[in-house]
Every structure is written in structure tokens, then in C-alpha cells.
Amino acid sequence: MKKQFLKVAMLSACMAIAGTSFGQLQDEKNVTMTMDLQPILQLEMSTPDQVDFVFDKLGDYYGGITKYGATILKVNSTVAWDLYAVGTSNDGTYWDKQMEYGTGTDPNAVEDLPLQLLELHQSEANAAFTAGTGFRNDYSSAFAAAPYTPGENNVYASATPYVLPAATEKYIQGHNGTADFAPGGSYLTQGSSMNSIYYYVIDYRIVPGLPAIFPTAADNATPPTALDLVSANAAGAYAQPGVYTMNVKYVLIENQ
């Protein structure tokens, strides 16, 4: 009888404790937050995509033609980035000849005009190029008057424009190494637009010379290899008159 009483008492106590535990106020609701950070790389070009150089005066041949501010580039990026310019054409080496003036029978008249005869000047210097091993790491040098320094501003040329340029080539911003990049940002928020690495004014120059051998043409080796028509061909060579075209691509990529 005594033990039965003990059992009943213990069961009652147990139920009382358990009942209290279940009766206490506690409730929970959950919210799952998902954040999708999509990478953004935007390169805006607010200027015409066609730049024409017409050489029809003796002075233009001698002094060349410079197109100031012909291209303006604006960068928006949420990731670290590199920017480079690459001159290209059908064969990635020479300008594409669209038409020829005259008979074109003179053996000294050369139709293969190197892409590197085009010179670029960027308004803001490259700030990250420790991996660069070429003659110049960007296009920030001012266009020099004669005597020219071949290789100073000549465009990087390639038949594979979307392959990252080698360490020996010029970049507008960043370079071939992973440590060489510009941080994410925007021309909209990075202070004054005219001294920002997110805003570039690009000038172009072509100097044919007379005879038209393009004396500034060179690659970016150290020292540069001259690509003027005499050095690349033979004494007496000159450019075949005609219409030539090439394409300059500005490529903005995530740092790599």
C-alpha cells in the first residue's frame, strides 16, 4: 500500500512537471534570405564607332592626323577588372584592303600595312602593371613629334582578340598578372570623371610620312621591333594608295 502510494505520487509529480514544460510559451518562425550577387562588367562607349583618316594633303602625310577624344570609355564593374585595346583584322596582322587606287603594279607599292601603325593615347595612366615586361605598359605617353619613338603608343595587335594579351603587351588598365587589376567601381561614383581610372578619353594618330612608310610603326618588344614599311620590306617600299580598314576592340574582363 505504501509503495502504491509512492508510485502514484511519483507519477503525479512527473505529469505535473511535464505538463508545465509543455505549457510554457515558446514559438518560432523562420525566414530564409537569399542574396544573388551577379557580376557586372559594363563598358560604355558614348562616341562614334567609326573613325576615318583621310590623307589627301601633303601636310597630312608629313605630320599625320590626330583624332583627339575620338573615343570615350566608361567603366562600371562590381569585380576586379582589366581593360585592354586590341587591333585586329581578317588576318590579325595587316589592315584589310578594301580598294586600291591606281594600277598597283609597282613592286615597291606595299599592300600589307601593319596594324601597329595606329597609335593610341589614353587620358589616365595604367595604375597596376607589375607583371608588364614590354617596352611600354600602357598608352599614356603623349604623342611625340618627329623624331618619333617607335613603340611608344602603337596599338597591340592580334588575330585572337579575346585571348588575354601577354605580359609583353600594353594594357589600358591592369595587366597580365593576377595581382595587376583595377578594383570594382564606377565612373559614376569615383570622383571627378576626368581623373578617374573608370573614365578614359582615347586619342588616335596615324603618321604615314612621305613616302608613306609609317615611321612610327613598331611592336612592344624591348627594344621595339620597327615595322615601318622599309624595315619590314625593303628600301624604296611605300604604302599602296587605297582604302584600308581595321578594327579596334576594347575588352573589359574580370581580373585573371
Which spans of this chain sit near other proteins (rule: CB under 8 A)?
3-4, 6-7, 10-11, 13-15, 17-18, 20-40, 42, 76-80, 183-186, 188-189, 254-256
Q: Which residue, 82 or 219, is less far from other proteins as judged by CB?
A: 82
81, 250 contact by CB (below 8 A): no
Cα separation, 146 vs 215, whole angstroms? 10
Q: Which residue, 77 or 240, is less far from other proteins as judged by CB?
A: 77
Please choose, from the candidates 52, 54, 50, 49, the residue with its C-alpha nearest in 3D space to the C-alpha of residue 101. Answer: 54
Cβ-proximal residues to 11 (8 Å cutoff; 6+ apart), any chain? none
Q: Which residue, 38 or 98, is less far from other proteins as judged by CB?
A: 38
184, 254 contact by CB (below 8 A): no
Q: Which residue, 16 or 163, is less far from other proteins as judged by CB?
A: 16
Cα separation, 180 vs 173, whole angstroms? 8
178, 115 contact by CB (below 8 A): no
Closest distance to other proteins from the beta carbon of 183 (Å): 7
Closest distance to other proteins from the beta carbon of 85 (Å): 23
Cell numbers at 112, concatenated: 600589307
Closest distance to other proteins from the beta carbon of 167 (Å): 19
Closest distance to other proteins from the beta carbon of 10 (Å): 6
Q: Which residue, 93 or 190, is less far from other proteins as judged by CB?
A: 190
Cα separation, 126 vs 100, whole angstroms? 39
199, 193 contact by CB (below 8 A): yes
Closest distance to other proteins from the beta carbon of 165 (Å): 18
Cα separation, 215 vs 79, whole angstroms? 40
Q: Which residue, 31 or 58, is less far from other proteins as judged by CB?
A: 31
Closest distance to other proteins from the beta carbon of 12 (Å): 9
